[in-house]
């Protein structure tokens, strides 16, 4: 058996005052051992990348996953009017519903592990698999990125602080398709700079989505988002990107949120995520923690992220999540 998640004492480490009043998470807080993954009923289909012994083997002794199963050389389009279209709409609707439900329990004192458990429970109750669980050995069912963590924070026993902002990123696998969405939430005592960051990031996502229609170059999304962020005093992290999604978790096209030269134009049936990460200040880069997942800002600045899954239609776009 793997160790239980044992509560630790979490000291308040103040973030850089030039960015506001909030606590930062330190790399030294990275988890070094993990509890057993939350169980998934055997009747729920699992993605091919989940090791066969993921739920039974001691940590570090899992079979190597076949990550090629999650990489496609070319993005597969959604065929309008097909069973596949119905399936992807369903799983995206479920993802959006769960994100809305869990937002109601994002409160001071609640731990990110408790949020993960709530999300896990809702996902399996809907007959879906929590796609992050077992993806490249990821140990939990969602990611929880707080304050200076840009992406891929691992849920743990840290209670949410009244000054926090937190991104919840969840993906479901159901009916052979994936539904992926995320949002950043503010806690009651979040200061104005933090609220401004969150508001601007949500608007940046909206700006990127509104560009979507057949014939538009994918790199126009990044240009528009970076220009908007710069005008509002924020920078865009370019270490992570949006991605095509459908029968695979990640596939082309790759959606970069800053200026880029990625080729390709949108076509009807293209399905992908747009998920910009905005960072306070001009240095958007992050460092990876020793856990191999958590990416935190170099400067201790806060970051925010919003994500929707978008389907390009013959005359525009549709937000599936």
**Residue 152, annotated ligand binder?**
yes
Alpha-carbon distance of 142 to 130, in angstroms, equals 7
Provide the 3-class DSSP secondary structure of residue 295. strand
**Residue 120, annotated ligand binder?**
no
**Residue 270, annotated ligand binder?**
no
**Residue 180, annotated ligand binder?**
yes
Among 63, 201, 222, smallest CA distance to 134 is for: 63
Phi, psi of 218, deg, nearest 5: -60, -35
**Residue 169, annotated ligand binder?**
yes
Strands (E), 43-94: none
Strands (E), the chain: 129-130, 143-146, 149-151, 165-174, 177-186, 234-236, 242-244, 251-255, 271-274, 277-280, 286-288, 295-297, 303-305, 308-313, 316-319
Q: Which residues are annotated as a binding site for a divalent metal cation?
A: 169, 180, 243, 275, 307
Q: Which residues are annotated as a binding site?
A: 152, 169, 180, 243, 250, 275, 307
Q: Which residues are annotated as a binding site for substrate?
A: 152, 250
């Amino acid at each position: 058996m793997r160790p239980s998640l044992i509560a630790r004492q979490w000291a308040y480490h103040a973030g850089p005052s030039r960015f506001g009043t909030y606590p930062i998470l330190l790399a030294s807080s990275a988890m070094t051992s993990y509890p057993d993954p939350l169980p998934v009923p055997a009747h729920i289909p699992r993605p091919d990348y989940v090791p066969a012994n993921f739920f039974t083997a001691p940590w570090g002794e899992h079979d190597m996953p076949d990550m090629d199963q999650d990489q496609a050389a070319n993005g597969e389009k959604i065929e309008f009017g097909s069973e596949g279209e119905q399936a992807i709409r369903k799983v995206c609707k479920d993802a959006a519903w769960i994100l809305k439900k869990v937002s109601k329990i994002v409160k001071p004192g609640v731990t990110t592990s408790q949020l993960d458990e709530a999300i896990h429970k809702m996902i399996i109750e809907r007959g879906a698999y929590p796609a992050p669980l077992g993806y490249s050995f990821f140990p939990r069912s969602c990611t929880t990125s707080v304050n200076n963590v840009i992406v891929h924070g691992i849920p743990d026993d840290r209670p949410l602080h009244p000054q926090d902002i937190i991104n919840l990123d969840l993906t479901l696998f159901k009916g052979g398709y994936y539904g992926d969405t995320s949002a950043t939430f503010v806690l009651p005592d979040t200061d104005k700079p933090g609220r401004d960051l969150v508001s601007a990031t949500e608007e940046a996502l909206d700006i990127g989505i509104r560009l979507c229609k057949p014939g538009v170059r994918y790199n126009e999304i990044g240009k528009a988002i970076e220009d908007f962020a710069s005008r509002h005093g924020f920078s865009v992290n370019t270490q992570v990107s949006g991605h095509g999604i459908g029968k695979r978790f990640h596939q082309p096209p790759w959606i970069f949120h800053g200026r880029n030269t990625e080729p390709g134009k949108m076509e009807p049936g293209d399905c992908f995520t747009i998920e910009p990460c905005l960072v306070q200040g001009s240095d958007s880069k992050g460092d990876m923690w020793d856990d191999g997942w958590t990416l935190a800002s170099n400067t201790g600045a806060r970051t925010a992220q919003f994500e929707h899954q978008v389907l390009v239609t013959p005359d525009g776009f549709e937000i599936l999540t």
